[in-house]
Amino acid sequence: MMKYFATIILTLFVSLGFSQGKTKRVLFLGNSYTYVNDLPKTIADMALSTNDTLIYDSNCPGGYTLQGHATNATSLNKIKQGNWDYVVLQEQSQYPSFPINQVETDVFPYAKLLDSLIHVSNPCAETVFYMTWGRKNGDASNCPSWPPICTYNGMDSLLRLRYETMATSNKALLSPVSVVWKYLRTNNPLIELYQSDESHPSEAGTYAAACSFYTVFFGKDPSNVTFKSTLLLADLVSIRNAAKTTVFDQLLQWHIGEFNPKATFTNTTISNQHIQFTNTSTNATSYQWYFGDGDSSSSVNPTHQYSSGGAYNVKLIASSCNKADTFNKSITITTTSIRSTDETNTIMISPQPVHTVLSLNQSVVNATPFAICDMYGRIVKNGILPPTNKSISMDDLIAGGYVLILNPNKNKPIRLPFYKIND
């Protein structure tokens, strides 16, 4: 008879005298690999030992598949409850290791369907795939028809590959429990991870799985966990260190943090002291700018006019779903002094902004020396206006703010600012 794991909602309260830790809400959809030894509670106990809180619920009938969860009213209703930070999906222990044509029919579509349903009701939730392990000596029952799973290594490798495929294709996270197990099998072979059936986890196996999930949910080093269970202290330390090495030290490999907001921007000068900021952030939905002069903006790509020159620290905070990233950049605003003369009242530059050719009106005297400086005062072009032409090619200048200086060697040169644009 199929076992049914009843819903458990556990809230752990932080004791007075401790600093405030993290609180995460997690829904587990799996089968006996999750409910044996009560994996969710083990994770919650670990979280409590580091002053964190795990609030969880689950639906884990024995032998259940992702396809089963996709049509199970209990699972679907729990997804629809919303407000989950993470939803854990665990396939039946053998299915992902089967031939690829079978996996593409019986596994991958339901992983995608469940992931999409999760995000309909939980826009800010992250799906976590529970990467399970190969059986201790391979899958004897299916070995005759599918030899690649006749050994632990063969089965475990296929499980890892298929879970990595599900995570990558759905932009989801991985809890690489099988990787923790393999590390322990190699480096600590005396720690028994399996029950006598050579499939389900022992208490040590569940503890190893919990260390992986603790790291995924809280982003913390599992070696700092102090929850002991009933295992030998030496075994607990080995398991925690295995999870640290394989999960915490390789977070991005398991997509942990990969989809968090990343703030960054570039900036260009429109005209003297007028700056265009271009937002190049990723995975963000809202933005807050601080320009370093007391002004701010929530626009995606703001422009800002500085009132004076100097160095300014510009800060961008990119946010999404209560996660944020900050990018700081120091920019220097250089003012260019424009000498006012009667002559400048009649001399004009056209067009403004300049594209390919800068033209001057008829008030300019022919054979006039000129220089063009960038906004840092560096001469980037000079020459003499010919008698029959009052135009200067701009093809060799990049986009940005400049100053045209007529008669640059005289005591009172004429200075005319302009802005160059590209196609």
The pLDDT, as a whole number, for residue 377 is: 73
* CB-side neighbour CA atoms (13 Å) of 249: 10
Tell me how far CA of residue 406 lies from CA of 116, 134, 391, 403, in angstroms. Answer: 65, 79, 13, 10
User: What does the block give as tokens for 392?
Assistant: 């200067």
The DSSP bridge pattern shows strands 323-333 and 369-374 to be unpaired
240: DSSP letter: H
Question: One fold for both 23-254 and 265-333?
Answer: no
**For 265-333, CATH number?**
2.60.40.10
The pLDDT, as a whole number, for residue 335 is: 64
* CATH 1.10.10.10 is the classification of domain 342-420: no
The pLDDT, as a whole number, for residue 6 is: 36
Domain residue ranges in the chain: 23-254, 265-333, 342-420
Q: What is the CA radius of gyration of the chain?
A: 32
The pLDDT, as a whole number, for residue 161 is: 98
Q: What is the pLDDT of residues 262-287, one digit of tens each?
A: 999 999 988 778 899 999 999 999 99
The pLDDT, as a whole number, for residue 4 is: 36
Helices and strands (H, E) in the chain, number of each type: 10, 19
pLDDT < 50 positions in the chain: 1-19, 336-344
Three-class DSSP category at 383: strand
d(CA 21, CA 394): 59
d(CA 127, CA 125): 7
DSSP-derived secondary structure for 150-215: SSHHHHHHHHHHHHHHHHHHTT-EEE-HHHHHHHHHHH-TTS--B-TTSSSB-HHHHHHHHHHHHH
The pLDDT, as a whole number, for residue 362 is: 63
The DSSP bridge pattern shows strands 23-29 and 53-59 to be parallel
pTM recorded for the entire structure: 0.73
Pick the CATH number of 23-254 from 3.50.50.60, 3.40.50.1110, 3.90.420.10, 3.40.50.1820: 3.40.50.1110
User: What does the block give as tokens for 375?
Assistant: 């906004």
